[in-house]
Structure 1
Amino acid sequence: MKKRNFKYKNEEEIKAYIADNKLDAQKTDTGLYYLINNEGKGAQPNINSYIKIAYIGYFINGDIFDQNDKLEINLTEVITGWIEGLQLFKEGGDGVLFVPSHLAYGNKDNGSIPAGSVLIFDIHLIAVN
């Protein structure tokens, strides 16, 4: 039941954030919201892709919890929200992912990320290998 409450709460938080910031985000069937500023023109990653990405991760309140300007990683090694969301971009693309907790760390704390947190990522997909 706790997880369901987070899911509903996360949905409301994301919708409010998008409305307050007058953003035109889309929603996938899983509950991931995304905003593509620039789709990119290169290769599009798949689940097995090795990617290079720059990102800033922050909470709904704007507090940054993580950032990296050149993370190189296999798409299978990231949170579910990234696996799904990054496949919407092509190499060189950028935008924002609004990741509800059920597509991130769920109802468990993960380091500085409290259980049930919505995670927002400004992303730039630099390269796909």
Structure 2
Amino acid sequence: MRINKLLLICLTAFLVFSCDNDDDNTTEVVPPRDRGEVAIEDDQALIDYLSTHFYNYEEFESQPEDFVLKFDTISGVNSDKTPIIDSDKLITRTVNFQGVDQQLYILRVREGEGERPKFSDSTYVTYQGELLNENIFDSRLVTPIWFDLSGYVVRNSNGQLSGVGTNLSKGFAEGLLEFKSATGFEVNSDNTINWNGDYGIGAIFMPSGLAYFSSPLEDIPAYSPLIFKVNMFRVNEADHDSDGIPSFMEDLDGDGDLFNDDTDGDGLPNHSDADDDGDGTLTIDEIVVNEDGSITFTDSNSDGTPDYLDPDTFK
């Protein structure tokens, strides 16, 4: 009898603790915060940073060709420095993303004297990513890397990926549009490159809503405003589908989004579709690329729609 009671007590205790353990292992799903509220908080955090930090502008004035951008706090021996927010090199842009207007701050120490990229182009840059607490989460300051500015990440209201492209943030892509490339370069005997000392130099200060918002990455907590120091060396005008039409010209509605223009409705946006109107004739065979690189859009049936967008063209 005592044995049966003991077994009953043990069984009851096992069931109780098993239930408790199951409860402990339950992961609570927290919905993303309101983007508008986060944008306001992030903007204040960025303003606070820009108001309490300066960049080494005196070094730039004395050695612009070999300049390396650095930030420091205004205090002590640096109490007389000009804060970034008061610099005439600081640009403020309002960017509407995911339905929310957000402030993007660009410190354009040197604009650059070469080509300015368009939203669809590729840029050859070095960069370093930092949090506002100065923790570095990514750095590529030695070897440049190509970034396709049209390939930024798009996330839906739940913070999940809903677009295509790379892990390039919207704020990074928008910020790079404010710089220009170098006018040229020289290749050394060891195949290293010396860039003309006129490439773009600066930094991009972005709210989390133009970065990774509620989705934490390695070394980047959720809802983190970010800083990217950048140097822009080259710009490549993109023609993603090699159809003879630069990608920026395939943004037919002019909204800066290459992925919502699909003339033939085949699921491929025009900038990635070699036959934009789906008539079986390649786009490159329905336009004329002139010797100077300009394009003549033919309209064989004179209906006001160029051949490459008109499946009813009679040839």
Which TM-score tier does this pair reach, normalised by the shorter chain?
over 0.9
The answer for the alignment partner of 1:72 in structure 2 is 146
Q: 1:3 touches 1:107 (CA, 8 Å); kept in 2? A: no
CA–CA distance in structure 2, aligned partners of residues 47 and 85 of structure 1: 10
Deviation at 1:8, TM superposition (A): 1.4
Q: 2:129 touches 2:227 (CA, 8 Å); kept in 1? A: yes
User: Which structure 1 residue ranges, 4+ long, deviate > 3 Å from structure 2?
Assistant: none
TM-score scaled by length of structure 1 = 0.93
Deviation at 1:3, TM superposition (A): 2.6
The answer for the alignment partner of 1:27 in structure 2 is 92
1:106 equivalent in alignment to 2:190: no
1:53 equivalent in alignment to 2:125: yes
The answer for the alignment partner of 1:62 in structure 2 is 134
Q: 2:119 touches 2:150 (CA, 8 Å); kept in 1? A: yes
Give the structure with the higher percent strand: 1
1:6-31 per-position Cα deviation (integer Å, ceiling 9, x unaligned):
21111011001111010123211121
Q: In the alignment, residue 133 of structure 2 is paired with which amino acid?
A: N
Q: 2:172 touches 2:228 (CA, 8 Å); kept in 1? A: no
Q: 1:34 touches 1:98 (CA, 8 Å); kept in 2? A: yes
* Match of residue 176, structure 2, among 86, 94, 117: 86
CA–CA distance in structure 2, aligned partners of residues 111 and 4 of structure 1: 25
1:2 equivalent in alignment to 2:76: no
Whichever of the two has the greater Rg, that structure is 2
1:123 equivalent in alignment to 2:238: no
CA–CA distance in structure 2, aligned partners of residues 76 and 114 of structure 1: 25
1:2-55 per-position Cα deviation (integer Å, ceiling 9, x unaligned):
333321111011001111010123211121011100000000011221111011
1:52-99 per-position Cα deviation (integer Å, ceiling 9, x unaligned):
101110010111000113111211232111121101111110111001
Q: Matched residues, percent identical?
A: 29
Q: 1:44 touches 1:89 (CA, 8 Å); kept in 2? A: yes
CA–CA distance in structure 2, aligned partners of residues 26 and 52 of structure 1: 22
Q: 1:2 touches 1:107 (CA, 8 Å); kept in 2? A: no
CA–CA distance in structure 2, aligned partners of residues 109 and 100 of structure 1: 14
Q: 1:7 touches 1:102 (CA, 8 Å); kept in 2? A: yes
TM-score scaled by length of structure 2 = 0.40
For CA contacts below 8 A with separation 6 or more, give which structure has more relative contact order: 1
Task: List runs of 5+ in structure 2 lacking aligned partners.
Answer: 1-32, 54-82, 96-102, 152-167, 182-198, 237-315
Deviation at 1:122, TM superposition (A): 0.8
